[in-house]
Structure 1
């Protein structure tokens, strides 16, 4: 058989180029196999509700690549972000620490350089990984230009602030704008390029992509306008204001309560959710682009993929919208992990274990064969991949130290229960408690805090809450106003003796 040989732009013969590419890919795979280190891909959406993925039980959504990732890997049913807002959550993901140890959130302050130096991207690059980042960096590091850290990555496609849906406006991603004018698919293209470059350099790689979608302003990619056009959406059973009458007065003082009406969940639920799901659909397509490239480069069998979101999204549950609050829709997010090397891969398994965004850095470090620094609060999730019936913790904290003062609170979670102490009081409201039995009441429709039959559970959760606050008091950074919460969140201190010293926030982040 004869092979037709042509040339491109006066360069090498096409057939020779193809052979050279094949040899390069083979060399890259051989190098990674010899090192024993897997490639790692961390993909994170913005504001994605766990109910927006088909494998979480929503028949209305179309997410074939996410569903495939879950079927081939593992679906985590009780995954929480320990702070449900962009800046703090992203700082926690990178460092494996609770917010009060990163010292990083809106209206509090930026991350100190010494904290950033213990982040998973820095540690992996020091260990020889090819590291790449694209998308919304989400926080600032003191002393860096615009607070960003492009010099700490081998390939950079990140941007400051919220970034833009228009690819051309994202300086580091502008080269993709002609083919992918909407940013979501441009990140898929960046992922392909990062994989190719790492294979070329014969290095194991860690690729981290933070999509802007599905964050507002609502800006779905128009190429997918037909996906949900005219579709009727199913409202959750806890939808609407009547389903939130039992919730604390404090939780109704923030932007989440008026946004139920302001964002038209009450008037046009189908239309609002169609656009939201359309933004998620574009992420699904980008995942497919990245996985196709892994296969093309011959490295799919040695690449671990983690998919999640920086926080959830309320979408009308209990008559609220947005995020931040400790309710399930805001605090929980999807988590899918696929490790093709794991014996459980491909068995469509789910884990009911309590997991959090504090766990990503330790998990990634263990995957890379690196020690987990003692400063990290999270734990590796690899034991759950081997045994989905296992647990990695008994309890975990959920933090809101941002936004309107009455909405700020501390929550403690177990596999079955959620307890929140709403510390704020004034002439209109008094400090209150909320207790939900999540296995029996996953929609949080029955506050057990005032139920005499639930008194033993309430007392037990108070003890766990106090333990979380004690850890806060012992480990919180001295800067950025985090020490004050040791008193503010203390159940034994009357609210009249408490004084909030931060900024009263009415912002739109």
Structure 2
């Protein structure tokens, strides 16, 4: 009799546990990616003039990271790391032209877990963008909006909002990849006029911005107008983010939706182009914050980006994580862990940082590497407090920076810490030895 009761109790508890597990829905994921937005371009990241109330509120309701990195310093390499969990230099064929080959993407993994993936806006991750590519059910590579007065990203955000409404019963995963603040910044008067009272005081900005002001003034003496143009483009991003967040609330999806906002790399320079072809725009006044460099650069200004995540009841609200070093190479393994994916790819460069998202402050286990997809390009590594840039084969010396005291990378301490240079160089050499010997790219593109 006792055995029968015990067996019945065990079966009841097992069933209760299974029921409880079944009742916990997988979280929706909304990933909003700006294009060329600088670390210092949002109010919550210290811009003196920006109006970003929706993103500032998102940061107040979630966690804001100050040591979050991208995997590449131009558009496709950055997106490659997001989608595959691999450093982009691992791909022998440029993914923008050839796709990811047999590498499994985060959208494919989530699709297998019952997610409905969607993608809206900028693509730049392969030659095919039809529905079903990379397991994405709905792909709409929407360009700039038809009505410029509302901002160039409005149409793609509207399409993403429609997708969320249609799939509100979830779970869904959606990329909302905008075009602002990519070159060229030609913002409508309706948005520029919001900043009609802005008058640039160069003392309001860190030293890292002063050369951009000088370059802008060489093209046009209207520095205030150039700044207003850029601020208006950032403002339209914020307005669209606000629209999307409002819909999530209206659909009562807030509690079970992970919302992330970030940028694909640092801000573009005032002078764009290469191989003798230059494009100039005095309006490219994106701020890298206190960091050196920007787009095309492996210095902190090119690799460190804003990262805001909100997941009510999970990510600590109003928190700033300034100690944990995180990267978009971690995106795939982290979301896979949250969604209960068990069949991860054998090779991954990223690590599961879901505990960091949930409030733990710890150091990452693996170093971060950057290298463009060229056999002769110079690599860089972030490991602990150190950032090492190796010189080119023809000239230069190693550059070592202690980011714990010199995040702007102004004081090269390589001569003072030769053992650190030796150790980090060995790690780079070991990593580079695993990369392709040759790279293929069909076109020379400016992204």
TM-score > 0.5 by shorter chain: yes
SS at match of 2:140: strand
CA distance in 1, matches of 2:98, 2:398: 31
Q: Is the Cα contact below 8 Å between 1:303 and 1:339 reproduced in 2?
A: yes
440 and 478 in structure 1: CA distance in 2 versus 1, 3 angstrom threshold = closer
Report whether the alignment pairs 1:424 with 2:383.
Answer: no
The match for 2:39 is 50
CA distance in 1, matches of 2:70, 2:327: 5
SS at match of 2:241: helix
Q: What is the count of residue pairs matched by the alignment? A: 404
Q: Is the Cα contact below 8 Å between 1:351 and 1:384 reproduced in 2?
A: no
2:54 pairs, out of 61, 65, 73, with 65
Report whether the alignment pairs 1:79 with 2:65.
Answer: no
Q: Is the Cα contact below 8 Å between 1:350 and 1:388 reproduced in 2?
A: no
SS at match of 1:44: strand
SS at match of 2:431: helix
Alignment of 1:114-129 (within 5 A): 114-115=102-103, 118-129=104-115
2:182 pairs, out of 198, 201, 215, with 215
Structure 2 unmatched ranges of 5 or more: 1-20, 269-285
281 and 109 in structure 1: CA distance in 2 versus 1, 3 angstrom threshold = same
The match for 2:5 is none
Residue 214 of structure 1 deviates from its aligned partner by 0.5
What TM-score do you get using the length of structure 2 for normalisation?
A: 0.81
Report whether the alignment pairs 1:305 with 2:259.
Answer: yes
Report whether the alignment pairs 1:130 with 2:116.
Answer: yes
SS at match of 1:113: coil
467 and 504 in structure 1: CA distance in 2 versus 1, 3 angstrom threshold = farther
Residue 390 of structure 1 deviates from its aligned partner by 1.6
SS at match of 1:397: strand
Residue 230 of structure 1 deviates from its aligned partner by 4.2
Report whether the alignment pairs 1:274 with 2:228.
Answer: yes
411 and 478 in structure 1: CA distance in 2 versus 1, 3 angstrom threshold = closer
Q: Is the Cα contact below 8 Å between 2:150 and 2:236 reproduced in 1?
A: no
Residue 154 of structure 1 deviates from its aligned partner by 2.4
CA distance in 2, matches of 1:263, 1:388: 45
Structure 1 unmatched ranges of 5 or more: 1-31, 141-145, 169-176, 242-256, 482-501
- Residues 220-277 of structure 1: CA deviation (Å, up to 9, x unaligned): 2443222222413433223445xxxxxxxxxxxxxxx9x9737858955544333223
1:147 pairs, out of 120, 128, 139, with 128
Q: Is the Cα contact below 8 Å between 1:260 and 1:266 reproduced in 2?
A: no
SS at match of 2:323: strand
The match for 1:235 is 205
CA distance in 2, matches of 1:265, 1:411: 33
Report whether the alignment pairs 1:206 with 2:161.
Answer: no
Report whether the alignment pairs 1:411 with 2:380.
Answer: yes
SS at match of 2:239: helix
The match for 1:480 is 439
The match for 1:294 is 248
Q: Is the Cα contact below 8 Å between 2:292 and 2:300 reproduced in 1?
A: no
- Residues 290-314 of structure 1: CA deviation (Å, up to 9, x unaligned): 1111111111110001111111116
Report whether the alignment pairs 1:373 with 2:333.
Answer: no
The match for 1:384 is 356
Q: Is the Cα contact below 8 Å between 1:43 and 1:208 reproduced in 2?
A: yes
CA distance in 2, matches of 1:357, 1:269: 34
The match for 2:156 is 187
What TM-score do you get using the length of structure 1 for normalisation?
A: 0.71
The match for 2:101 is 113
411 and 273 in structure 1: CA distance in 2 versus 1, 3 angstrom threshold = farther
Report whether the alignment pairs 1:348 with 2:319.
Answer: yes
CA distance in 2, matches of 1:261, 1:273: 13
CA distance in 1, matches of 2:198, 2:246: 29
- RMSD across aligned positions (CA): 3.2
SS at match of 2:206: coil
Q: Is the Cα contact below 8 Å between 1:182 and 1:221 reproduced in 2?
A: yes
SS at match of 2:352: coil
